[in-house]
Copies of this chain bind each other. A is one copy, B any other.
């Protein structure tokens, strides 16, 4: 072959391979840990469908976090889980001063002030019907009322000390509404908005709904979450949220949508790009490794490297505790920034 068609020489040892893979390294700050917070008193309760993941009461959380910070944890993403009795048709408890998320924010900001707190903002865990917004009588989404409610929820978290509010509801116009509300309250300089801008109506969410007790009681979310095949709407949603002032963008789920991480990052290179490795991905990789299909550590290294290669700056993953531990071991042993 012509000399300029020879490529092997470019990746014939580990150093060359690292140079060729620049900007796909994994560091502790590339990972965010999602946490399910309850008002339960029973402490830590395992989520059956997600082996290795639990829900925590505030005191249990206070006990759980120190070793994670010791391993390098820099940020958490909080989800509230409340009993049925707290739920109503408009999700009013989402804004309550005593909600588990508000309490968790206050505890963390007191005890572990260095930890960056991101709060998921959505109604589905607080409505009896399990939809992400308030509904019209005919069961369709009332977008205006929904945006007002989740804006109030975001403000409640912001006032409690959250660093980042992250609307996951996919209502039209909620990023702009939150930015304006934060500005009115004088919080716009302290609290940023991470938009779940590109969130698909996926079958990979099953185990999460078990964890968060948030499955819809009827219907589905296909009128606000994106159709699986639509890259056009994905780009338009990201563009819309950027125009409304989003500080960061997210693509969700993760691995099955790496193409959109790539093209959305290319379209909006100036915003940090988040990727959410969702519950179904977590469980699938767990069961694959358990069945001997692959080695868990090697496969996670490949999967996370791929997310970084696709353009993700930050990875939200339930595997974060294990990853932090492995990264720490690597540094102790050999100074390697690779998993």
Stretch at the interface among A78-86, A88-96, A122-130, A293-301: A293-301
Q: For the complex, what is the distance from the CA of A53 to the CA of B6, rounded to whole Å?
A: 37
Partner of A20, one of B8, B189, B229, B331: B229
For residue A148, CB closer than 8 A to chain B, the reply is no
For residue A204, CB closer than 8 A to chain B, the reply is yes
Partner of A287, one of B71, B114, B141, B288: B288
Q: For the complex, what is the distance from the CA of A255 to the CA of B164, rounded to whole Å?
A: 30
Q: For the complex, what is the distance from the CA of A225 to the CA of B308, rounded to whole Å?
A: 19
Q: For the complex, what is the distance from the CA of A145 to the CA of B192, rounded to whole Å?
A: 20
The number of residues on chain A lying at the interface, defined by a beta carbon within 8 Å of a beta carbon of chain B, is 125
- Asked whether, in the complex, the Cβ of B306 is within 8 Å of the Cβ of A259, the reply is yes
The smallest beta-carbon distance between A9 and chain B, in angstroms, is 4
B-facing residues in A209-246 (Cβ within 8 Å): 222-224, 226-233, 235-237, 240, 243-245
- Asked whether, in the complex, the Cβ of B207 is within 8 Å of the Cβ of A5, the reply is no
- Asked whether, in the complex, the Cβ of B303 is within 8 Å of the Cβ of A293, the reply is no
Question: Which residues of A line the B interface, CB within 8 A?
Answer: 1-25, 27-30, 49, 71-72, 74-75, 114, 116, 140-141, 143-144, 147, 163-164, 172-173, 176-177, 179-180, 182-183, 186, 188-193, 202-204, 206-207, 222-224, 226-233, 235-237, 240, 243-245, 247-248, 255-263, 269-272, 280, 283-285, 287-288, 290-295, 298-299, 301-303, 305-306, 308-311, 313-314, 328, 331, 335, 337
Q: Which 9 pairs of residues, A with B, have the shortest CB-CB distance? A: A1-B173, A21-B229, A4-B245, A24-B229, A259-B310, A3-B179, A284-B288, A232-B270, A22-B313
